[in-house]
Structure 1
């Protein structure tokens, strides 16, 4: 059932996708995405959640009310499968486990980030962020608040530790269901999509349904940034990982995609082609910008975002610089850009 505000329809907070799968809209406070779609999958041992939503009282209320509307409750949950560690997906997992005894499953790469997040002192994070931004060429007026900030904990720095590791390709422990884990790194190192290898309830053409998390969304390109261990000097290529993961998902030819944001959709191969073309165009555009040497910060300033650079909030600028660095790494790996020898902070130029 839908309601309306000023005549505009409001989507229902719960939706039955058929075949023992429902979704709940769990709000994300102060975020333009609005909400996370948390999925409830019936199993022979009780309901299992795909993601849980943001750790916030209003989000918890929405989650528990949604479960009640689905004819169950948080205490009856059997397990939680986390697509990735971000707080709008994993935030309420600990509270769910405490209320129900449900297990929490996550890919090992994101589990490592959770452990690192829990064990690293806030002062270490401030120092690491400061060093990264200075190396990226951020101006002193942007870095200064980090140098002088009170070394308090950030929200979400105590995420729940998972009980189980998700192995790529495995059928998960959902009695009576066939849910296979597909490792799709890029948005995070341990992001997983979940392929429900069952006939679509409406018999749509294709192969089952795919819970796609943030990997494949109908109208949004997910953020591709850097998630690195401050004590590990390994140079990663998250954009390359993401593009390869996209192609892997496209080959599944799922009948329907059930994403974590926006709405369910069909024709995944077409959406995959759109995203691959988007990133190809973006990389080509960045090569043009790199006709002159630029730091990652300068590149981020010149990149196209959903608003002008001067209107991007402080925290979002840090995310934008991380994304610029991910694109630079891809260009360097492809042989389309290189670091300028002796530059400090390091600048990059197209080749």
Structure 2
């Protein structure tokens, strides 16, 4: 059964399923404009997800062929996956921040085996055991033989979301706010209009994955197979700017959103909520507590893999599946990089794989 929620003021959300994922669904938002309906995100590229999205758009009183544009909060497949199909069906434009658009271009240009080779090398450098890396090496060889890559081919955006500027949506005031951290080009979208129920605060915020009511968004290192394991830089483009500190980016972005004080947050997962400043304070406290705990673990030198093994997750390390362990290690590396940036940890000279220790 299609689940559509009317949030008032010409904004509805559609629960688009994510196959085989504990998140369950992505909240795709449809906003009326004088030029036609616009989607904020589109959901995962899967036949059942597409059918749900199309039915949901119809339940909103329009049709997928009438979609005027797609605004993508970030490049992840549960947000950007169906954007290409929407454009094919309607001729809609697709807009994305330049840093994430660069990732989409490089993803499309990278040979399939490049992704698996990159991930294997990255995990090896983190100290992962060979038995964990071996399946990726096997997939690498299989892809080389078949020339296929499981998953999705992200659509190239044709418009750029410029931070601080209003999007060209007649009849609406939707301003882009750059909130890097979850991805280098993540954006929140501030609807600078009086709340339809007159709730106190500063408009409404489409928050993507940046600010969620009960989930702490994943913050890992920005990944790019073209860097061959070298650090990605702060603007998401290798070779320019300072080396990225994704957790630092995220914390800075959180504080900006907290100061904005929207009356209501419309996130991409779970449900809409109010009191954004309190949620921001909870997330800031969570990450400070986690950094303090990691410093205690780093009283002895540890690789990122060893640190991830010792960190507290929502289940024991032995019960975490292969793909989720890769995500956990990336999150450990992002926290290590933050500690190094703060001068609270450092790499041990000549360690291989590299280990880190508190200072």
Normalised by the size of structure 1, how large is the TM-score?
0.95
Q: Which residue of 1 aligns with 2:236?
A: none
Q: 1:318 aligns with which of 317, 326, 331?
A: 326
How many residues are matched? 341
1:238 aligns with 2:256: no
Contact kept, 8 Å, 2:106 with 2:226, in 1: the verdict is: no
Q: Which residue of 1 aligns with 2:260?
A: 252
Q: Which residue of 2 aligns with 1:262?
A: 270
Counterparts in 2 of 1:156 and 1:109: CA distance versus 1, 3 Å: farther
C-alpha displacement of 1:155: 3.5
1-structure distance, mates of 2:262, 2:138: 50
Runs of 5+ consecutive residues of structure 2 not aligned to the other structure: 232-242
C-alpha displacement of 1:231: 4.0
2-structure distance, mates of 1:120, 1:138: 24
C-alpha displacement of 1:342: 1.0
C-alpha displacement of 1:210: 0.1
1:49 aligns with 2:44: no
Secondary structure of 2:214's partner?
coil
Q: 1:187 aligns with which of 179, 182, 186?
A: 182
1:85 aligns with 2:48: no
1-structure distance, mates of 2:18, 2:10: 25
C-alpha displacement of 1:145: 1.5
Secondary structure of 2:269's partner?
coil
2-structure distance, mates of 1:38, 1:127: 33
Q: 1:212 aligns with which of 207, 210, 217?
A: 207
1:307 aligns with 2:315: yes
More displaced stretch, 277-286 vs 146-155: 146-155
1:170 aligns with 2:184: no
Runs of 5+ consecutive residues of structure 1 not aligned to the other structure: 4-11
In the TM superposition, 1:92-241 aligns within 5 A as 92-149=82-139, 150-151=142-143, 153-232=148-227, 233-234=230-231, 235-241=243-249
Q: Which residue of 1 aligns with 2:52?
A: 62
2-structure distance, mates of 1:144, 1:68: 46
Normalised by the size of structure 2, how large is the TM-score?
0.93
> Can you list the C-alpha shifts for 1:305-345, whole angstroms capped at 9, x where unaligned?
11111111101111110000000000000011000011110
C-alpha displacement of 1:143: 1.0
Contact kept, 8 Å, 2:190 with 2:204, in 1: the verdict is: yes
> Can you list the C-alpha shifts for 1:191-224, whole angstroms capped at 9, x where unaligned?
0000000000000000100000000000000000
2-structure distance, mates of 1:66, 1:231: 38
C-alpha displacement of 1:157: 4.3
Contact kept, 8 Å, 2:35 with 2:68, in 1: the verdict is: yes
> Can you list the C-alpha shifts for 1:279-310, whole angstroms capped at 9, x where unaligned?
00000000000011000000000111111111
1-structure distance, mates of 2:275, 2:213: 10
1:294 aligns with 2:302: yes
Contact kept, 8 Å, 1:118 with 1:157, in 2: the verdict is: no
| Aligned-residue CA RMSD (Å) | 1.1
Contact kept, 8 Å, 1:111 with 1:162, in 2: the verdict is: yes
1-structure distance, mates of 2:208, 2:335: 22
Contact kept, 8 Å, 1:332 with 1:338, in 2: the verdict is: yes
2-structure distance, mates of 1:340, 1:153: 40
Secondary structure of 1:106's partner?
strand
Contact kept, 8 Å, 1:187 with 1:223, in 2: the verdict is: yes
Counterparts in 2 of 1:154 and 1:309: CA distance versus 1, 3 Å: farther
2-structure distance, mates of 1:217, 1:227: 20
> Can you list the C-alpha shifts for 1:118-173, whole angstroms capped at 9, x where unaligned?
00001111111111111100001111122222125444441000010100001001
